Homo-oligomer: A and B are copies of this chain.
Amino acid sequence: MSNETKTNADGSINAGGDTNNNTKKDVSKGSNIITPRSQDYSEWYLDVIKAADMAEYSPVKGCMIIKPTGYAIWENMQKELDARFKETGVENAYFPMFIPERFLNKEKEHVEGFAPEIAVVTHAGGKKLDEPLVLRPTSETIMYDTFSHWIQSYRDLPLLINQWANVIRWEMRPRLFLRTVEFLWQEGHTVHETEKEADERAREMLEIYRDFAEEVLAIPVILGVKTESEKFAGAFKTYCVEAIMQDGKALQFGTSHHLGQNFAKAFDVKFLGRENTMEYGWQTSWGVSTRMIGGLIMTHADDKGLVLPPKIAGVQVVITTIINNDEDRDLIIAKAQEVSSWLKEEGIKVKIDSRDIRPGEKFYEWERKGVPVRLELGKKDLANNTLFMARRDTGEKTSISADDVVVTVANTLEAIQANLYDRAVAYRKEKEKVVDTWEDFVKEIEAGNFVHAHWSGDAGVEAQIKEETAATIRCIPFDQKMEDGVCIKSGKPSKGRVVFAKSY
């Protein structure tokens, strides 16, 4: 973690840069403070976060401070997802962050999966506690103990609960947004009458994640099922959304678990069925986290900094004023405000930057922060009734008519959203390889690719491949083609290809 701690030691980028004019000199020089991807990808990732002023490491090892620019993205993510969840009947609630240790021990696979990562409170209120309390790594156990009291009969089902919360998993190799000891997430938990209904719900929520990833974040994803070795501790099946990052590594964007009746049996989540018999509930849980912000960065950002898809950007358009002498000031600012009000009326999120600093300094700042469209307005523009427009994604610059600004900007925002998605799809295509020999497999994995290859379903072979290449099976894709083949490693018969990659 030598790369990551650098940020912590430095930790000197200003917060609230948007409103407080507090750009620091070394940052304001422009994009040259960002290590190019080609030179050092990990360093580039951290540099982008720093240059866009999104987050930094905290004095507590492994924990991060999400700064206003980063947190605004999280707020937008929450807003978009929360509305989609609620549309399907899900309601929000809040459960304690403390879990009695005995709860965690009730589902065997679950405790084995999480035991190495838990943090425990042993002392509180000046005393040693009778029973240690675990800080939630996820809330299945505490929620399902309660659900067992809430549910009496089939009429109480489905129960559809979501929670926005912080969770704790003791990570020894932290990386901003991708892997931190404390992170923010949502965790949905549902109980159903039948296996079929639970499975449909798990897939429905996965589809919401896909839609959000592709339509809002412009991140193309692969949907599928995890293998037994990779599934969630205690789940019956884990569905997942996987994305390809710019270094060819996979990022698990979100997961949706069909839990079967495993937890229901451990926590006595029973109901009186339609046939008057007591039955165990069928359950799902599903979650996405602040890790999505890492995925957003590693999908779209470039060597100049962050690049935000318009649909997730807190600021979609920034109007920067170019004021060379005091007499023009009022007129230029008045025009900027007029243009801003036109754009706002169309629901476009716009910000005026009329700070008295060098124009270049302002341009670079918004470039680093990934604002999709920058409009510049100076004395000449005023005379010509024009604005100068720069696209963040392509760098393209054009002079546009002030009269058409609303339509031009709206179209440009749409074009940027589409372009970012298309670019990511093209990248994914380039990175997806179909191989049939072990030699090719090793070569493509080492080249940082997503590899479609045959595998017989043998967990021992899966483990061996992981040990030798660091690649894991990301998923058995939903669109898997049924075809006879032989396992890339063992030569045993296989009925279809699965997706291998190295991952975050």
Q: Could you list which residues of chain A lie within 8 angstroms of chain B, going by C-beta atoms?
A: 11-16, 18-22, 24, 56, 58-60, 63-68, 71-72, 74-75, 89, 91-100, 103, 115-126, 132-133, 135, 142, 145-147, 149-153, 155-161, 165-166, 170, 172, 181-182, 184
A213 to B94, CA, bound (A): 23
Task: Give chain B residues whose Cβ lies under 8 Å from the Cβ of A18.
Answer: 91
Q: Are A123 and B120 in contact (CB under 8 A)?
A: yes
Q: Chain B: which residue is nearest A184 at the CB level? A: B94
Q: Mind listing 28 A-B residue pairs with CB under 8 Å?
A: A11-B149, A12-B152, A13-B150, A15-B161, A20-B155, A20-B157, A20-B158, A20-B159, A24-B152, A56-B146, A59-B100, A60-B142, A63-B96, A65-B93, A65-B94, A65-B96, A66-B93, A67-B93, A71-B91, A71-B92, A71-B93, A75-B92, A98-B181, A116-B126, A119-B123, A120-B121, A124-B170, A135-B135
Check A22–B170 contact: CB distance below 8 A. no
- State the CA gap A91–B157 with chains docked (Å): 40
Chain B residues whose CB sits within 8 angstroms of the CB of A75 once the complex forms: 92
The smallest C-beta distance from A77 to any residue of chain B, in angstroms, reads 13
Beyond A123-B122, A150-B12, whether A91 also contacts B21 by CB under 8 A is: no
Cα distance A59–B93 in the bound complex, in angstroms = 16
Contact present for B94 and A66 (CB under 8 Å): yes
B96 and A58 contact, CB distance less than 8 A: yes
A66 to B162, alpha carbons, bound, how many Å?
Answer: 12
B residues less than 8 Å from A182 (CB atoms): 96-98
Chain B residues contacting A115 (CB-CB under 8 Å) are 126
Q: Tell me if B60 and A100 are in contact (CB < 8 A).
A: yes
Q: Taking the nearest CB of chain B, how far is it from the CB of A457, in angstroms? A: 32
Contact of A166 among B15, B103, B165 (CB under 8 A): B165
Do B59 and A145 have beta carbons less than 8 Å apart? yes
Residues in B with CB closer than 8 Å to A122 are: 120-123
With contacts A11-B149, A120-B122, A149-B12 known, is A96 near B64, CB below 8 A?
A: yes
- Whole-angstrom CA separation of A60 from B153 in the bound complex: 26
Indicate whether A142 sits within 8 Å of B68 (C-beta atoms), given known contacts A119-B124, A125-B172, A156-B22: no
Q: Which B residue's beta carbon lies closest to that of A63?
A: B96
Minimum CB–CB distance for A250 against chain B, Å:
25
